[in-house]
Amino acid sequence: MRTALHQSGKLIFHKRVQQGITQEELCQGICSVSYLSKIENDKIEASELIMQLLCERLGISLSSLQNTTGEAKQLLEQLHTALVYTNQEKATELYKQLQPVMVQVQDAEVLNFYQLLSVRYFLLIGRMDEAVSLLEECKKLSSKYSPLHNVIFHYVNGLIFCKKGEWEKGAGYFVKCEQQARAIKYSEPSIYYNLALVYSMIHNVSMSLYFVEQAINLYSKASKFRYIIDCQVIQGINYARLKEYDKAIETYENILQAAPSFSDKEEIFARTLHNLGYLYARQGEHKKATELYLDSLRYKESHIEAYVVTMYELVKSYIELKQFPDAKVWIEKGLKASKDNTFEKRNYYLLLMLQYKYFRSSGEYKDFLEKEAIPVFKQLKDAQELKNIYIELAEYSESELEYKESNRYYKLAIAIQNR
């Protein structure tokens, strides 16, 4: 009975928070608030009578704690593995199997595990709103999480912030996740992959390359060769930033050679051709870049997030080549593809900036930057684009002999740079 009573302390906390009941409301007429707090924190072993009364008020059964939760635990472990390796088909099958099983479960730790894995599952299948909503419920219970559950909690927080484009916040959660995982000797390659990705997004090349090597080692040990491809993409991006162009090209060409071996070869081709295009654009070879971007778009579907990114880079190369009619066509295609997509807001406004800059008057462009672009990129917390906008406005004001205004914008850009 000791095990059942111990589990029920955590269960009482879980159910009380879930139902929005205060400690005072729950323990009224049964025990003191301080006594309940000790029960919930496993500081004391309460009498069976008190536990029974608390459970009844919450509408749960103390005796059910003695029932086996083995099936639920087994399915959850399998689901966890499927999520670690982003096996959507297997994860969906297991998630469906769990539904009738979890209705019977009243073990708090099992319920916590299920909630956290549900958040991760919703993120995998693209149900972002449900993931965010459920994570809010998880936050209320996080003070009672086991070490492994804390790792998963920080991991899913990191994923959500990254999907919102808040890379710095995402990095903070992934760093904590990795530290906690290391402390309990838990090894998950996707933690290191996401650290490599997030550091790449905030242009911390050395940290990105450091973590991507760790991810590759872990994926190799697990014989998960498809995931090594994703790691090599990050390597190629960072080699390009270091201007090690030959090394980057070699990495991408190796990926293209390996791609036909995998079921999602079209996605691999699309992403790698995009990155090769970006690499040639950085070297000023914009004709070659446009060819690669167009090849990439042939493999992509309009619902893929990276589709609009490729359009944006293609437009920039057309502008460099002074092929303005082509640039205009692809701006319009990009705006149409991204207009109603919340997660494409950044690229939508980047394309609008190009439209106003090259196909509207300079005055209209200035008004757009000040009235629309600046508020949007502030909201998105995109410091790099804000700095670029301030410099654009400073240069425009200078050309109009508005030196005071120009100086103000230069100061704003410098302030961002100094941060």
Report whether pLDDT(2) > 50. no
- What residue type is 326 in one-letter code? D
Spatial distance between the Cα atoms of 258 and 27, rounded to a whole number of angstroms: 63
Which of 318, 317, 308, 309 lies closest to 281 in space, CA to CA? 317
The predicted-structure confidence for 14-54, as pLDDT tens digits, reads as follows: 778 878 899 999 999 999 999 998 888 878 878 888 888 88
Mean pLDDT to the nearest integer, 273-278? 94
Residue 389 pLDDT: 95
Which of 205, 17, 191, 28 lies closest to 115 in space, CA to CA? 17
Spatial distance between the Cα atoms of 351 and 105, rounded to a whole number of angstroms: 51
Residue 20 pLDDT: 87
Q: How far is CA 202 from CA 167, 171, 173, 295, 384, in A?
A: 7, 9, 14, 27, 10
- Give the phi and the psi of residue 164 in degrees, each rounded to 5: -85, -5
Q: Categorize the per-residue pLDDT at 108 as very low, low, confident or very high, splitting at 50, 70 and 90.
A: confident
The predicted-structure confidence for 125-172, as pLDDT tens digits, reads as follows: 999 999 999 999 999 889 889 999 999 999 999 999 998 888 999 999
Q: What is the mean pLDDT of the chain?
A: 90
Which of 412, 388, 408 lies closest to 397 in space, CA to CA? 408
Residue 1 pLDDT: 39
DSSP characters for 21-66?
--HHHHHTTTS-HHHHHHHHTTSS---HHHHHHHHHHHT--SGGGG
The predicted-structure confidence for 44-92, as pLDDT tens digits, reads as follows: 878 888 888 888 888 877 665 545 478 889 999 999 999 999 999 999 9
The answer for residues whose C-beta is within 8 angstroms of residue 208's C-beta and 6 or more apart is: 196, 197, 199, 200, 234, 238
Report whether pLDDT(262) > 70. yes
Residue 7 pLDDT: 55
The predicted-structure confidence for 324-364, as pLDDT tens digits, reads as follows: 999 999 999 999 988 766 667 888 999 999 999 999 999 99
Give yes or no for a contact between 11 and 51, defined as CB atoms under 8 angstroms apart. Answer: no
Residue 19 pLDDT: 84
Mean pLDDT to the nearest integer, 296-320? 85
**Residue predicted with more confidence, 306 or 266:** 266
DSSP state of 351: H
- What residue type is 255 in one-letter code? I
Give yes or no for a contact between 395 and 366, defined as CB atoms under 8 angstroms apart. Answer: no
Report whether pLDDT(5) > 90. no
Report whether pLDDT(413) > 70. yes
